Structure 1
Amino acid sequence: MKTFKISVLIIFLFSALGCDKDDVVDINNIEVEKYIELLKKGEYKFLKLPPFTAEDIPLLLQYRNENQMITNFPHNMFSSLMIPECKLGMYVLWTIEAIRTDAIKTEHVFGNFPSQNLVLGLRNSEGLELVNSDESHAVAAKAYFDWWNENKHKNFDEFKNIDPLAETDYRWH
């Protein structure tokens, strides 16, 4: 058993030494472009969203309409619904929502996720009616873009409480 433990330790050390430091990503210092690149390549390995701030929103918004499907991204572990894939643009909008909900310290934040899932639901439905369509993506993308552009001259604290989806038929699930 002792030989097995030593063998595992040696393999671990050689693996760690073999890593290229250029490939190491620090989630606390990740830039938006690197985040997007990793999501597109399916190489984002963290279990949570990066700690982006309002300063990152303009760059994130540039990707709001991206239709590329991604399959390797952090999920809210508190949800029983597993979303196996989504559009990059929707994931970016969910990331922006995480920045907003973190800033207002909402009680509904699950870990650092802004909602249970990165899928939209119909706001006024009596039950849970999820929506995952090109139309809902376009409406949400426009809502977040307009929310930011109508308020960007203000301090973020002045408009962080405004739900970008408030005037739409959608809400985050």
Structure 2
Amino acid sequence: MSKLVRMVLFMVLLCTLGSCGSNNTLDFDNPDVDLFVKQLKAGTYQTQSPEGFVEVPNFKSEDIPKLLSYSTDLTLIQSFPLPPISPYVGGEIRLGECMLWIVESIRIGDYASLGCHLIRVNADNYEAQYFLTDEEVIDASVHYKRWWENRSYPKTRWSIDPCFDDPLCGTGYQWW
């Protein structure tokens, strides 16, 4: 009987050490939004692109609803994987703002910006004093959610809207 107990304990130990699978591994080309957010919050995100850079994984349009569900999360994260061409080192940033940055990057098909901050359009420069407040990030999130919802409706000549495909149109916010 003690041999059976030792065998069970050994199996539990192996599962614990081996994590019983790859639940903590994020697939760069087919990422899981929840796992990505969990790793960002824990400061453990290290998934590399095929080029060897730690970058935001290849999220697709299908991921936008899930990304938007985190867009009002104002948790400060220690780092965010900026584009490899970015001259900025990073620093603390709100998780929700990062999720909006990913959505914007999907929308335009390229990096939304080299940093990951929304700023006011009339900013004299790109100092932190021009970054959006928590309330303004929540407002930007509302605009992105409305934009995504409205994309499900057909665009007709009777519903011409100059802001149809620009969530930040008229908000006074832009990406930096």
Q: Note whether the superposition's TM-score is higher than 0.5.
A: yes
Question: Counterpart of 1:31?
Answer: 32
Percent identity, aligned pairs only, is 31
Runs of 4+ in 1 over 6 A off after TM superposition: none
- The structure where helix makes up a greater share of residues is 1
1:49 paired to 2:47: no
Contact 1:30/1:50 (<8 A) preserved:
yes
Letter in 2 for 1:45: Q
Question: Counterpart of 1:85?
Answer: 92
Query: Quick one: structure 1 residues 39 and 172, their matched pair in 2 at CA, closer, same or farther if it must change by over 3 Å?
Result: same
1:63 paired to 2:70: yes
Letter in 2 for 1:24: T
Query: Quick one: structure 1 residues 74 and 144, their matched pair in 2 at CA, closer, same or farther if it must change by over 3 Å?
Result: same
Question: Counterpart of 2:13?
Answer: none
**Which ranges in structure 1 are unaligned for 5 or more consecutive residues?**
1-17, 103-108
Alignment partner of 1:123 out of 121, 124, 127: 121
Contact 1:43/1:72 (<8 A) preserved:
no
How many Å separate the matches in 2 of 1:40 and 1:32?
12
User: How many Å apart are 1:96 and its aligned residue?
Assistant: 0.6
Higher relative contact order (CA 8 A, sep 6+): 1
How many Å separate the matches in 1 of 2:106 and 2:154?
16
Q: Secondary structure at the match of 1:142?
A: helix
Paired positions, count: 144
Question: Counterpart of 1:10?
Answer: none
Q: Secondary structure at the match of 1:27?
A: coil
**Which ranges in structure 2 are unaligned for 5 or more consecutive residues?**
1-16, 48-53, 156-160
How many Å separate the matches in 2 of 1:42 and 1:85?
11
Letter in 1 for 2:170: E
What is the root-mean-square deviation of aligned Cα atoms in Å?
2.6
Question: Counterpart of 1:167?
Answer: 170
User: How many Å apart are 1:142 and its aligned residue?
Assistant: 1.1
Question: Counterpart of 2:151?
Answer: 151
